[in-house]
Amino acid sequence: MPKKARQQQLIKIIEENPFVTDQELTRKLKVSIQTIRLDRMELGIPELRERMKQMAERSYDQVRSLPLHEVIGEIVDLQLDKSGISIFEIRDEHVFSRTGIARGHHVFAQANSLAVAVINDEIALTFSADIRFIRSVHLGEKCIAKAYVRPSSGNKAKAKVEVFTYVGEEMVFQGNFVIYRSTGDDNHEGGNIHADRH
Amino acid sequence: MPKKARQQQLIKIIEENPFVTDQELTRKLKVSIQTIRLDRMELGIPELRERMKQMAERSYDQVRSLPLHEVIGEIVDLQLDKSGISIFEIRDEHVFSRTGIARGHHVFAQANSLAVAVINDEIALTFSADIRFIRSVHLGEKCIAKAYVRPSSGNKAKAKVEVFTYVGEEMVFQGNFVIYRSTGDDNHEGGNIHADRH
DNA sequence: ACTATTTTAGTACCAGGTTCTAAAAAAGAG
DNA sequence: CTCTTTTTTAGAACCTGGTACTAAAATAGT
């Protein structure tokens, strides 16, 4: 096997299993460990421990910067029980890779997170929602969601929140949320209660 | 400083910086390296390299198993333009940490992903949705979502999909989706079209 | 004062390498 | 076929960040 081909093989093997040692590579490629190491040098592939360290660091950074998993979008303004604003930038991981159009649930998640956040209560759960995707959102666009709490008539445990999401001047999403809150009487959690539609 | 306190300190330091070596710990805790190592033994904290390896492996597994970022839930049955079933287990990262109740947008995401997947088209986007969270879903529960495509009257570009999500026998979520499809005429992407509500 | 616990010290050893020197083996050129 | 260059292999010394083990101090408990 020629050198080039072997090095391509080596790249492939390490790519699909970064946890492989040089020793194991000698078995797979049938060359000496020195050759493996020269190849790694030439290709700029760090040793196993360095590879693991880099993966660990990358994942650690992500964990640190992504309690975005908890609340989607960055809340920049919040007046409890009144209104709130959040910003969410559409990135690679949010779009259909083929079209660059954001998957609906991410846009929804931003609105939902904001609707829940704006309710000033210990427990606030989405009870129902009526939503419209007015136009599709694309990779790189910044979604600005604005939520307004509507004065609730009657049932105090259900708060109505309207959310409008904009990209620039353009409205791209609109949703009417009914948020269930834990005012006093805890642990209802929906059950068989039915919301009146608007 | 008593032993217990030191060990608590050690746990804290490693927790907030898992990349610390024993050597560095001697400086922070002002004890010998042997003491550090005895402490780690007693506390069952692995050595630096092992910690990094575990982090790397965990993140690697996630990367492998989380093109779930693309499609939420595992689709186990799919009859295009007819019906589909997906399974989604509620894990730590999906719940409000205080209550163990799933955030609504994850349950929605499963249903939305399925509704889009079941439409047999190159481009399928959520146009609108009307959803109900019937009861809250908790950590560890397996959500089984079933989607049915309803025969669309009139506008062929809009498919109606009903999704019901169950935990066991119990229905926990219900949604009526209108999915925009790319039948022939491409790139409409919503725009100023308005869906008739059911 | 004697015992038990805790801490420190030191040595041998390990994985998975790097760095360096040097010799074989293979390939290419004239 | 010989000479040169490239490629491959071998081996020894050294590195990091440890483990495993033995043993001696230091500290605390009673």
Concatenate the DSSP letters of all residues of B56-84 into one string.
Answer: HHHHHHHHHH-GGGTSSSEEEEEETTTEE
Question: What does the pLDDT read at residue A70?
Answer: 60
Percent of chain A with pLDDT over 90: 55
Neighbours of A92 (CB within 10 A): 10
Cα–Cα dist A33/A27, whole Å: 9
User: Is the confidence at residue A71, as pLDDT, over 80?
Assistant: no
Contacts of B68 in chain A (CB under 8 A): none
CB A96 within 8 A of CB B100: no
Contacts of A105 in chain B (CB under 8 A): 72, 105, 108-109, 112-113, 126
Q: Taking CB atoms and an 8 Å limit, are A99 and B126 in contact across chains?
A: no
Contacts of B131 in chain A (CB under 8 A): 128-131
User: Is the confidence at residue A62, as pLDDT, over 70?
Assistant: no
Q: Taking CB atoms and an 8 Å limit, are B126 and A112 in contact across chains?
A: no
Backbone φ and ψ for B8, nearest 5 degrees, come out as -65, -40
Question: What does the pLDDT read at residue B188?
Answer: 35
Q: How far is the CA of A54 from the C1' of C8 (A)?
A: 34
* Among chain B residues, CA nearest to A60: B55
pTM greater than the 0.95 cutoff: no
Contacts of B56 in chain A (CB under 8 A): 18-19, 51-53, 55-56, 59
Average pLDDT, chain A: 84
Output the six-digit token pair for A176. 């009417």
Question: What does the pLDDT read at residue B79?
Answer: 85
| Burial A147-174, CB ≥16 within 10 A → b, else e | bebeeeeeeebbbbbbbbbbbeeeebbb
Cα–Cα dist A32/A40, whole Å: 13
For residues A65-87, average pLDDT:
74
Question: To which H or E segment does residue A196 belong?
Answer: none
Q: How far is the CA of A28 from the C1' of D14 (A)?
A: 28
Question: What does the pLDDT read at residue B62?
Answer: 52
Task: Say which nucleotide is closest to residue B21, CA to C1' distance.
Answer: D17
3-state secondary structure of A151: coil
Q: Which of B49, B109, B189 sits opposite A109 (nearest CB)?
A: B109
pLDDT digits (tens, 9 = 90+) for B132-185: 999 999 999 999 999 999 987 777 788 999 999 999 989 999 999 999 887 644
User: Is the confidence at residue A24, as pLDDT, over 70?
Assistant: yes
- pLDDT, greater one: A91 or A189: A91
Output the six-digit token pair for A106. 């991410």
Question: What does the pLDDT read at residue A196?
Answer: 30
Residues 6+ apart with CB under 8 A from B5: none
Question: What's the residue count for chain B?
Answer: 198
Cα–Cα dist B178/B156, whole Å: 11
Q: How far is the CA of B2 from the C1' of C3 (A)?
A: 21
User: Is the confidence at residue B196, as pLDDT, over 60?
Assistant: no
Q: How far is the CA of B38 from the C1' of D18 (A)?
A: 13
User: Is the confidence at residue A189, as pLDDT, over 50?
Assistant: no
pLDDT digits (tens, 9 = 90+) for A146-168: 999 998 777 778 899 999 999 99
